[in-house]
Structure 1
Amino acid sequence: MQDRRLQDFLGRWQIRRGIVHDDGTRGQFEGEAAWRAEGRDALYLETGRLSLGAQGAFQAERRYLWSSELTVFFEDGRLFHVVPPQGGETAHWCPPDQYDGSYDFSHWPHWQVVWRVSGPRKSYVSTTRYSPLAGSTP
């Protein structure tokens, strides 16, 4: 399998995310992600609608900075995780909760990341699927 590079992600992607909490409640997110080059790095911006059970649906967004080495940082500069270039496992400790991620690039340019979150504050599985948007260049 080919190693992914930051340039592979640049452009616009459709996102579909399913969230399943350990108590059985479900959520979903549908929207768009865009990686925009900023020097050797890229800004990741995700926008869309998040539905979380009884809370209803609302607009949501998140931003990360991806380095050229596929290291992902939160907006405030804190380390989030490292993306394995061939796909595979990664992790993030956010006291008191553990985030265990798995990237799957086997059907590139359609790909996904699954996060299993466990701890006293959060306990869920989030599966995000990415597909290139028409006219984009992933």
Structure 2
Amino acid sequence: MGEFWPVPDTLGYLAGTWRVERAVRDLASGDEGRFTGTTAFDALDGGGLLHLESGTFVWQGVARPAERTLRFLPGAAPGTADVRFADGCPFHDLDLGTGRHVADHPCAADLYRGEFTVRDAQHWRTVWRVRGPAKDLLLTTDYTRTDGT
């Protein structure tokens, strides 16, 4: 088996509940934070998945509740996904067919570059590098399936 685990159906793979552990590093200041929580990918009416992430984010010693919502819709090609923000605005495409995918998301003067890697049926990771005039961040998130599917 190679370094990556191919996924022929991105949405089918993601469906379910995952434990989330995210390390956040500000490469300019050296500050570090951590998010821990869960992500549920639940079926949307009409196809796709609703991504609901909730947990606790600790930054500079202060813990705060944190959450986000995304929509993972069927992509243009079979087995892929079109990832959208909660308001429907485009975020990035996602194709886990080879077990690895790189996506860019320009946001004002910043560029978010995400690398998605699938390790096996129970584990996947995202690494987002965020660069811009006021940002130099590295966000590494590990997902572990919790629902046994």
Task: Specify if TM > 0.5.
Answer: yes
Is there any run of 5+ residues in structure 1 with no aligned partner, and where?
none
**How many pairs does the alignment contain?**
135
In structure 1, what is the equivalent of residue 89 of structure 2?
78
Deviation at 1:76, TM superposition (A): 1.0
AA in 2 matched with 1:26: E
**Residues 52 and 70, structure 2, Cα contact 8 Å, conserved in 1:** yes
For residues 35-84 of structure 1, the C-alpha deviation after alignment (integer angstroms, 9 at most, x for no partner) is 00013111100000001115x01000000000022111011111000112
In structure 2, what is the equivalent of residue 92 of structure 1?
105
AA in 1 matched with 2:53: E
In structure 1, what is the equivalent of residue 138 of structure 2?
125
In structure 1, what is the equivalent of residue 58 of structure 2?
51
Runs of 4+ in 1 over 3 A off after TM superposition: none
Alpha-carbon distance between aligned partners in 1 of 2:126 and 2:92, rounded to the nearest angstrom: 12
Q: 2:27 matched to 1:16?
A: no
Identify the range of structure 1 (12-21 vs 117-126) with the bigger mean alpha-carbon deviation: 117-126
Q: 2:38 matched to 1:25?
A: no
Provide TM-score, normalisation by structure 1: 0.92
Q: Secondary structure at 1:117's aligned position in 2?
A: strand
In structure 2, what is the equivalent of residue 101 of structure 1?
114
Q: 2:68 matched to 1:62?
A: yes
Alpha-carbon distance between aligned partners in 1 of 2:9 and 2:104, rounded to the nearest angstrom: 18
Percent sequence identity is 30
**Residues 103 and 113, structure 2, Cα contact 8 Å, conserved in 1:** yes
**Residues 84 and 90, structure 1, Cα contact 8 Å, conserved in 2:** no
Alpha-carbon distance between aligned partners in 2 of 1:3 and 1:16, rounded to the nearest angstrom: 25
Q: Root-mean-square deviation (CA), in Å?
A: 1.3
Provide TM-score, normalisation by structure 2: 0.85
Alpha-carbon distance between aligned partners in 2 of 1:15 and 1:103, rounded to the nearest angstrom: 14
